[in-house]
Amino acid sequence: MSDSASGPAPGYLDTRRLRMVAANAQLISIDIEGRAALANALGVQVPDNWPPDLYDRTTMQFALDKLGDPAVRGWSYWYLQLREPEGHELVGISGFKGRPDARGSVEISYSILSQFRRRGLATEAVSGLLGWAFRHPAVAQVTAETFPWLEQSLGVLRNCGFTLEGQGSEPGVVRYSVNRSMLR
């Protein structure tokens, strides 16, 4: 599958309220060190309840192992920080679970710290990353999986144009997708 050379270079993305910083091995290592080191590296405040749900040390280590391959950068995590004048704080994490597969499909994930939820930040992050992913010619589809009772998560997906595909990869999980052709 094509790497970042065939699409936009990873680094950072700006949306209306967010600066999204693409993780690399060094940044994930710093995150594993702790909040103070991460705050220093990103130049933002890192709240006491960092990391957000579903982003634990095991997940960080998995990302670190994958990021040994420079072509994975951008296809891993993106740190979400508020831009001025909204603030200058880390609010969550979003990203992809690896590079696109042979069919051009890539899975997205997102998690926002509890005190920043219900402000549209997850929707803004997912929308920004959808745009980034679909600027890569090889990406035909972006998928996401969630539990059917997580109304806020379902709202993010619906707001970003995803439609229900059916059962997910694990029991009790549902899968949503959005195709390049759906966004035209």
Query: What percentage of residues in the chain have a pLDDT greater than 70?
Result: 93
Whole-model pTM?
A: 0.90
Q: Mean of the pLDDT values across residues 66-80? A: 87
Q: Does the pLDDT at position 124 exceed 90?
A: yes
Q: Mean of the pLDDT values across residues 132-141? A: 94
At what angle are helices 57-66 and 25-33 packed, to 10 degrees? 160
* Structure confidence by residue, pLDDT tens digits, 19-54: 999 999 999 999 999 999 999 999 999 999 999 988
Identify the pLDDT of residue 183: 67
Q: Which domains does the chain carry?
A: 10-139 (3.40.630.30)
The Cα–Cα gap between 154 and 145 comes to: 9
The Cα–Cα gap between 46 and 168 comes to: 33
At what angle are helices 25-33 and 35-42 packed, to 10 degrees? 140
Identity of residue 156: V
Q: Mean of the pLDDT values across residues 13-22? A: 94
The Cα–Cα gap between 26 and 160 comes to: 31
